[in-house]
Every structure is written in structure tokens, then in C-alpha cells.
Structure 1
């Protein structure tokens, strides 16, 4: 008799459940996606004990027909695909027909559903995948699913569930992502009878972000709306001064589906290089729309990850679009002045909640007036007066603002970064923010194609050369504490750290000189002897090839001593001993292997730092103005080589608010 046997259906379902249902959050995700596919406008999620005791998802979608109630719990039963070709043109979130069968096999499940064409609903109960009750009941149109006693029949899997707080945290992340992806739907989330989240469902992405992630993030959003080749990007980036320690606030959506994809995360993070502190992650809500045939959403059992068939093109488009958007929205670190209102924290929270409710009420009234104007999520209409957004068009990085005031000294405001620019293309006046204080940029309108814009000065990243380096762009006010330069621009009052500014200028100058094609080394007239500890000598041996590659030649002098005989020309007349000792100390603390390029970077950073103006050093007006002009000509005038901010900005609105105007 053969030893190979067909597994019972109940066992097969539990194996499938192990792939699809990892924890309570997995069930919430599957049920929410079913509600969205059913055309729901309102989705309510109730959780008890982190999902162990109860998961309830109720929607007002079109419901399930009475004849299909039982079939819905069969494995591979679905209304969303019919043949293999449908997998390559998916527009629904669920499609494999595994979710309900998998959930029912490891829990007790109850469903009440009334189809829109039916006068009554049907209630069905299952336990361990077996139907134990089915009968007609009264209910409104839509579907309600209740899941109890998760993993009651698989104690080994129940044991691996984490604490209530941890499990609910995963659920909250799922609901937050789904709510953000579907701003036209209203989501309500409850945990142990407490309302945790509520979204307005008015079709406005910024309002949903405000409801889910709070006012701080909502007030620092920068819109992105780009179409390049077959890829459309929309959504919001957050200003660089607001970051997180993990990728928890990097949200990506492909054709409306919340996804995880390392490629998209890397593209956004690379675009933020040199604008945020090392180790920090940006905040982004990015919607990517591509032909479904280019996306494989079937690579993960829980549909959590996707795979792109033209990944490099998608990486390049996202990276360049994010970089350009950040640059055109002035990534200078902004400082906000806080006023004491005399309210305690509870009062502040209550006041904020009242304002939020009023905001949503106002938006809903506007929504009714315009009917279906904002109903389609793909339109991403965020013209909410409460936020006074920038409007960024598809193919042009244009911004429009409603400005009231002007300053006579300013002209040639921000625009294209081309070296050959026409001064007449730029505004003759510097304008200031509107009634809501959103200091929107008044970028001159241009009709350049996205690809052409990216091609201009592609290697110069965030350089402001050619436009803002002109003295007429800014007004020098003076030096304070012999350390900081004050300048006035249309963005407000900028405070420039003179040391960090010159460090950036010198670093880029040294970098260009060091990397010339005809770079040469300089033999020292008197070799420099450096005595090392045993540990330091071992470090030098480990990195000997890399040290020689950057142009430093040395020989062993015995007793852990080396003799420096040749250095790059750039180091001529520089403190060679200090530079070499600094390099060795850096390598000793590295903790991991460094390349020749990294060693070179550290050396140039040291040179720039030691050669720069120090804090406390007075500068003349002429020296100060030249320093600012030289700073604007660098590739990244916002961060020094060590990623410290070079300048901060206090907007005119913040100054007026602080003075009670």
C-alpha cells in the first residue's frame, strides 16, 4: 500500500491559514479589503483583547447574495478572477478566494450579509471550517463578519501571539494604511469599546492623513503629482525636518493597494540623502499608478509585498521626482515659535478635537455641494482651504500662491536650475505668505517636460546656483554672536551657521580638486613619522590598500611606527600628521569595512572642518554676503558634510504669530 495520502480538506485549510493568517492583523486586512472590493463607503472595525477574543468588521457594501453565502467559505472560491490572464490585470484587492476559508478553519466565524437586491439578510456560523448554523435574519444592506476565539484549535500558533498592545499595534497600522489608501471611505476603529481612529471619508487625502497621523505631519506636507512615461506619482512628502527612526511612516500604494517594497523605500530615502540626519527615515505617502501587468501582487501569501517588472525605471522616476519636489519646496529646516495659550494639555486636546470636527464638518458640506467632484481617489483632490496647498501639475513642477505683500529689494525668485537662465523669467518681487501662513513658493511657470527638468543639473542635487546665489535674492541683515548670519528671503528669516556653511563650500571644493583626472601626489621633503598603538597599526594593515588608493604612501618604520612619504597634492602645506591620525581613529571606530571612497570622504570632511571659519569669528558685511553666495552655489546648501543643518528658517507667519499680530 502506498504511503502518499491526500490531505483532508480541514488540514489543507489550516496549512493555507498558516500562510495567509499570521496574526489578528492579517484577518483585519483581509476583511477590510473584501469590504472595499464590495463598494463600501463606511467600514467599522471593532477589536477586543488585541484581536484574540473578537474581530468585527462591518461595512455598507453591496453584500453577498444568499445563494453565495456558503460558497464564500470554500477554498479558491472567488468572484474576482476567472482565468490565469486575470492575474495580470488585477483591479480588486482580494482575488484568490483563500481568506474566508482560512479564517474559518482556525476560528469561530459569524457572517450576516444582505445583498442590495435582497429584502432580507442571511446569517451563517462556522467553527473549524464547518457550518453549524444558517438562517435568514433582518439587517441593513452590507456585510458584518465577527471572528471569535482565534487559533482555538491550533494552540501552538496561539502561543506565539504577542501581547495585546503589540497585536493591536499591528492592527492599527493595517487600518491606518488602508484608510490612507482610501480617503473617500470612512473608517472607524475601536479597541475594547474605545474609539481609536475615525476618518472623514470626504475624498481628501490630507484630511485623512490629519485624522490618522495628526496635525504635525499634516501641516508639514508637500504635494507631489508627477507623470513620467507610464508611471504616475501622487500624494505627499513630509518636510525633511520631520523624520522617524524607522520606516513606519513610509507608506506606498500601488494602484490603490498598500504595499511593502524595498525598491520604493530605497528610492525615496536616496532622494533624501544629505537632507536628513543619518539613521533617520523620511515620512512619505506616495501613490504609484502603473499598468497592472507590470506589478506582481501574488509573490507573497498575504499580498503584503509586490514585485515590479521594470524596477530600475521605477526607482529612477521616484528618486528624481522626490528629489526635485523637495528642492522646489525649499528644504531649509523650519523653526516654529510656540506661544503659551494658558490651556492645560487636556484643554489643548479638546480644542484640537473640536477644530478637527469642525474641519471635517466643513469639508463634508463642501463635498455635498460638489457632489462627486472628489469621489475618485485617483484624482487626489486636496484643495482644502484649511491647508492652502501648493498645486503641483502633472508634467510641470509649478507652484501658485496667493500672496498679499511684497518687498521691493527682491527679484529673480526660484525656478529652473539651468545654468543658462533668463533673468526676465523670474519675478521682480519677493512675495510673502497668504492668510493661512503657508509660505508657498511662487515658482515661475514653465512648460518643461519632467524628463527635461530632471536632466538639468542632475548631478547638482539641491544646488541653488544661477538664481538664488544672486545677491538680489536675499537681503543680508547682519551677524549675531559672531557665529550666525541673518538673511531675509521671501521664505522668511534664515539663520545661517557660518562654520557649517563654509565647511560645505570647502568640502565640495576639495572634493572637486581631489577627483581631477590629472590628480597627483606630492612627495614630502621631510617624511612624517607617526607612532601607533598595536591596535592602530593593525587597522593600518587592514586598510593599507584603501589608504594607498587615495594617494597616501607610507612605509613601515618598525615598532608600530609608519613613515608618511607621499600625500595628495591637496594636503600640501596641511597638517598631515593630524589628518592621518584622524583617519586612523575614524577607521578604528568604524566597526565595519570602509571603502577607499569612504576613507576619502572622511579625509575631506576633516580638511573642510579644520579649514573653515570658526564660531565666534567676526565677519565683515562683504565677507558674509560672499559666504552666502558661495553657499548657494554648492550642490547641497542645506546640510554640511556631517549632515548637520546649515541654516534654519523662521517664516514671516511664525514671527507675526509670536508677536501677537
Structure 2
């Protein structure tokens, strides 16, 4: 006999609200987004966000907007109650950031929730308190005009959602990213973000977009901004694109705003990617800060729970506007940046060709070629190591505190199984354009990226799995090194300082934008500390992940100690690098995954010349 089918029941409001909250309130950053967007819709000119424990314990958003009367407060926390829609047609001409009336009841359903508000013409405010949909009192309160929403113990009644939250540093980072997007989308509104009582972002009102980019991303990026402006019919795009030399292997610095709303729409991101075509390697992503304005009736923002994706009526025109505006700005102002035409393919003989981007000076560049003919590689003295103490490596050239071979210290790790990188015999070594080595071997010719090769070899010489990287010594500083960071970067680094101390890197926060390094492992003596901590902030490792931090430090040591692109090498230094191919296996790719060598055999070369 078949089992009795389950009976369909109407879900209680509490469960329905928790389901809805799962779509809208993914993490504390989503709470900040919804509350701040409500504040912007209310005409706020100043928004203050306070965060504790990554948002688990407290998320508070306070604004100076229009405010609400007591009767409106009760409606505000009711599902599908909104002041932004009157009829169904309004859904197709939305000009506000919020419109569904879901955010406040969704947030209230999974937290201890308090909302207080005061209109500008009232003498006092009124507050309403709820615990997971259950009213917990209301009454008058003293406050400035505007609205204040306090969210405590987020997900206290949804433990399954609570356990999916990341570390305090990670969640604080998501909130910081969210506030940065809001600050860039509305540069005329003041934003302040406080994490554990410390101001991480504090931007005044009435700023230009350029000034806000400078404050949030620093002078290095701001000084290299290229203006973008174009319009077509009812569409207009304005903003900035950073010079291609500021490109990074991440899309975190691509900000596209549609009618004041941050969107991560596939069509717009594809248009940005096409706009950079011909100016960047495929693995790199340029920074953009673009505001796209168009008639609200030409776009549907009601297609995604977080409104991050949209649907355009005239997709082709929008795509062309964004792409062409970027292409024009880069072609006009990028200072001769161009793409060298090569074929992106791997031939049957294993010849790898890849697209390379490099800046072209105003004058014809001089290619630096240094040559050393070596009759027999075996007749040369063996390369002992690449280290600061190696006489052949000048202090300003390949100096590093990390020996490549040391029986007692940094013993090379066992490489992954794979083909050996080294050619059978080296006959000739040349440096090309201060960036590459051309090596003639008995099997053919090999092109080598000098920085990538040296970096990978140095990394193989280290053991980043050890929890204490001070085996080679730790440098204690009488005068600490002061490191300047952006406020949001330091906010993400501070929770990791205790773990950094476990691997020998001692640093303390001095102010919201400064920290001091008091001691570090000797292997990091050539580290650019501002870049190291900025990179750590961009991709923070989980708290209590000492092994991961150790590996990050090893990568940093290898990168900063390796020879640089653009560095001229003596014949001895060229030979030393070439011999690394004989000493290590697994050098085919750098630590970032890019190829270090390109090979062309004699047979393939003869075939290419039709011999």
C-alpha cells in the first residue's frame, strides 16, 4: 500500500521569514548593504556603520535621513511593506535601491532587532524592539533626526546559518568591501565604518569620485586614473579606469554602478573585459570605477535576490557603450601601452606561445643583449648557490638571505613527480631586454623569464610547511619599521597579527592606518612591507592558520629576493640562473602558475624555416 502523501500546510510566519532571510541575509555584510541602501533611499547625507565580532555580536547602521513616525515603524518591519512602490508598473521603472519591503523583516527574523527613528520635525524619536519576529517592547527615545537600526546576535535562532559564517577577520573584510562599494557609489554621502570601536573608513560628504578613490585606494592608483566619459541616446557612462600598469590578477578593483547601485552583472563585466582587450594579459584585470546611468524603464533590477544582477532591454547597446568608452580612454591616455601580437596556442611540437603585454617607451627601446659562449657546461665551476654571500651575485643584484642549497638549513623540498626541467647541455646564455634569458642547448633553444624562474627556485629551497620560519634567525629591530596602509587593509590584517607572531613576524597596530614591524624572520629582510601587508589584506588567510601564513611568508621571501624584471645581469649571474634548471625539478611554472620557460627544439626550428 503506498505511503500516505504529506499534507500541504501553510508555513508559520516565523519559518517563512527565516526562509526569506536566507535569500536576503547571507552574512553581516548583507545586513549592512540592506540597511545602508534604506538610508540612502531616505536621503541620508551621513551613514555610520558599527561592527563587533565581524557582525555576529553587533551590526548597527545610523543615518540622518528623513526618519519615520511611530506608526511607520510597525509597518517597516512587516513583510512587503514599502513606500517605494504603488502599483505593478512601478516595478519596471525602479529608481530606488530598495523596493521589495523584505529587508527589515528578514533581518529582524534572525536577530535581536531594534529600530529607532525620528523625523526632522519631531522633538523625540521612537524605537521598536523584536527578538526573531517576536515584539519585545516599544517606546519613545532620545536621538538625533534620522534612523538607527541595531542588529545583535545575528542568526541566534538559526544555528545552521551561524556555523557557515567565516572568521571575524573574513566577515569584517566582507563588510569593509561592502562599505567601500557604497562609498564609491555615492561619493557625496559621508560614510564611517567602525570595527571594534576603531574607524576603518571615514569619508566626508560632498567628495568627488576621484577624491574618494584616492582615499580608499591610495595615491598610487589615483594618480594613474584615466577619465572615462561617453553617452548614447538615454545612456551615459562616466568614471575612471586605472592605467594598465596598475592591473592585478583579481577583479576586486572593478566597480561598476548602475543608477547608483553596485552590480556584478555578467554583461557589464564582459564589456569591461573586452574594453581591456589588447592592453592586458588575459590573466590580469584592470581597475575601473564606472557609473552607468540609464532610464530605469530600460533595465529590470528585480531578477536577483540581492539585485546584483540585472536585465537590460538593449543589451547590445549597453555592452558597446561600456566597451568602447574604455577602449577610447585607454587608447588615448594609456601612454603607448600595447599588446604584442602572438598566437595563443600550443603546437604539436610543444612550442608554447602566449600573449605578452609590456609598456612601449616613447622612443625606440634598446634591447640589451649580453652574451657568453660556453663550449662545455661541464667545464665550468658549479653554481654553488644564489645568496647574499655569493661573490658573483652583487649585493644590489641577486642578493638574498635564502641559500638555494644548504644541507643543514633550507634543504630543498622533494619536488612533485614530473619531467625534469633541465636541458641536457647548455652552450650559450644571453639576456634579452633585461627580462629574459635565451639559452642555447644541445636540444634547441629555451626562453626563460628570469624573475619567475628565480622566484620558483627560491621557493623550492624553502620549506613553508614548518610553523616556525625563524630557523635562519630573527631580526630584532631597535627602530621599528612604520608601515602605512589603507584603513580597510589594516582592519583585515590586525586579527592576523597573533598568528604572524607565531612565525616570527612581530607587528603592532599604531593607528587606524599604520602598523609597526618590530621583528621579522631573516628570510624576509628584503620584503616590501607595505606590499606584503596589502596583499595579505586582499586575500586574508583564516585565523589560526599558521601553516598557511608560513607558506605566504615563504612565497613573499621568494618573490622579494628574486631578481626583478628589468634588472641587468652580468654573464656570471646569467649563467647562475641557467644552472638552476639543472639543479631543480619542477621549475616549469612560477608559484603563481605562469610558465617560466618556452622551448623550441632544433627539429621544430628547421621545420619552421622549411629546411
| Shorter-chain TM-score range | 0.5 to 0.7
Alignment of 1:143 with 2:153, yes or no, is no
Alignment of 1:39 with 2:68, yes or no, is no
Match of 1:325 in 2: 329
Alignment of 1:26 with 2:30, yes or no, is yes
Aligned counterparts of 1:320 and 1:17: Cα–Cα separation in 2: 40
Alignment of 1:172 with 2:176, yes or no, is yes
Match of 2:133 in 1: 129
2:227 to 198, 223, 226: 223
State whether residues 198 and 212 of structure 1, in contact with CA within 8 Å, keep that contact through their aligned partners in structure 2: no
Alignment of 1:249 with 2:253, yes or no, is yes
Alignment of 1:297 with 2:307, yes or no, is no
| CA displacement at 1:330 relative to structure 2 | 3.1
Match of 1:382 in 2: none
Aligned counterparts of 1:22 and 1:33: Cα–Cα separation in 2: 16
| CA displacement at 1:270 relative to structure 2 | 1.6
SS of the residue aligned with 2:245? coil
Alignment of 1:214 with 2:206, yes or no, is no
Aligned counterparts of 2:309 and 2:6: Cα–Cα separation in 1: 39
Distance 1:37 1:474, change over 3 A: closer
State whether residues 231 and 321 of structure 2, in contact with CA within 8 Å, keep that contact through their aligned partners in structure 1: no
State whether residues 197 and 211 of structure 1, in contact with CA within 8 Å, keep that contact through their aligned partners in structure 2: no
2:244 to 237, 240, 263: 240
Match of 1:516 in 2: none
Alignment of 1:187 with 2:191, yes or no, is yes
1:75 to 79, 90, 104: 79
Alignment of 1:52 with 2:56, yes or no, is yes
Aligned counterparts of 2:67 and 2:217: Cα–Cα separation in 1: 31
Distance 1:481 1:38, change over 3 A: same
Distance 1:91 1:109, change over 3 A: same
Distance 1:203 1:474, change over 3 A: closer
Alignment of 1:160 with 2:160, yes or no, is no
Moved over 2 A (4+): 330-334, 473-476, 478-483
Cα distance per residue 1:351-406 (max 9 Å; x no partner): xxxxxxxxxxxxxxxxxxxxxxxxxxxxxxxxxxxxxxxxxxxxxxxxxxxxxxxx
Aligned counterparts of 2:245 and 2:275: Cα–Cα separation in 1: 14
Cα distance per residue 1:298-331 (max 9 Å; x no partner): 1111212212222122112211121111001034
1:313 to 291, 314, 317: 317
Equivalent runs, 1:188-587 vs 2, <5 Å = 188-332=192-336, 479=366, 481=368
Q: TM-score, normalised by structure 1?
A: 0.51
1:109 to 109, 113, 136: 113
Aligned counterparts of 1:159 and 1:482: Cα–Cα separation in 2: 59
Cα distance per residue 1:26-72 (max 9 Å; x no partner): 10000000000111111000000100000010101110112111110
Cα distance per residue 1:613-636 (max 9 Å; x no partner): xx99xxxxxxxxxxxxxxxxxxxx
Cα distance per residue 1:196-236 (max 9 Å; x no partner): 11112223111111122222111111111111233211010
Aligned counterparts of 2:366 and 2:252: Cα–Cα separation in 1: 40
| CA displacement at 1:117 relative to structure 2 | 2.2
State whether residues 275 and 331 of structure 1, in contact with CA within 8 Å, keep that contact through their aligned partners in structure 2: no
2:88 to 74, 84, 90: 84
| CA displacement at 1:332 relative to structure 2 | 3.5
Please identify which structure carries the higher helix content: 1
Aligned counterparts of 2:324 and 2:280: Cα–Cα separation in 1: 17
Equivalent runs, 1:620-639 vs 2, <5 Å = none
Count of residue pairs brought into register by the alignment? 358
State whether residues 183 and 191 of structure 2, in contact with CA within 8 Å, keep that contact through their aligned partners in structure 1: yes
| CA displacement at 1:479 relative to structure 2 | 4.8
1:6 to 7, 10, 14: 10
Structure 1: runs of 5+ lacking an equivalent: 335-461, 463-467, 484-534, 536-577, 583-614, 617-641, 643-661
SS of the residue aligned with 2:228? strand
State whether residues 186 and 198 of structure 1, in contact with CA within 8 Å, keep that contact through their aligned partners in structure 2: yes
Q: TM-score, normalised by structure 2?
A: 0.55
State whether residues 227 and 240 of structure 2, in contact with CA within 8 Å, keep that contact through their aligned partners in structure 1: yes
Distance 1:481 1:304, change over 3 A: closer
Aligned counterparts of 1:318 and 1:286: Cα–Cα separation in 2: 9
State whether residues 200 and 208 of structure 1, in contact with CA within 8 Å, keep that contact through their aligned partners in structure 2: no
Aligned counterparts of 2:163 and 2:334: Cα–Cα separation in 1: 51
State whether residues 200 and 207 of structure 1, in contact with CA within 8 Å, keep that contact through their aligned partners in structure 2: no
| CA displacement at 1:474 relative to structure 2 | 6.9
Aligned counterparts of 2:172 and 2:336: Cα–Cα separation in 1: 37
Alignment of 1:99 with 2:91, yes or no, is no
State whether residues 31 and 107 of structure 2, in contact with CA within 8 Å, keep that contact through their aligned partners in structure 1: yes
Cα distance per residue 1:457-510 (max 9 Å; x no partner): xxxxx9xxxxx9xxxx9777x957469xxxxxxxxxxxxxxxxxxxxxxxxxxx
State whether residues 297 and 303 of structure 1, in contact with CA within 8 Å, keep that contact through their aligned partners in structure 2: yes
Distance 1:133 1:323, change over 3 A: same
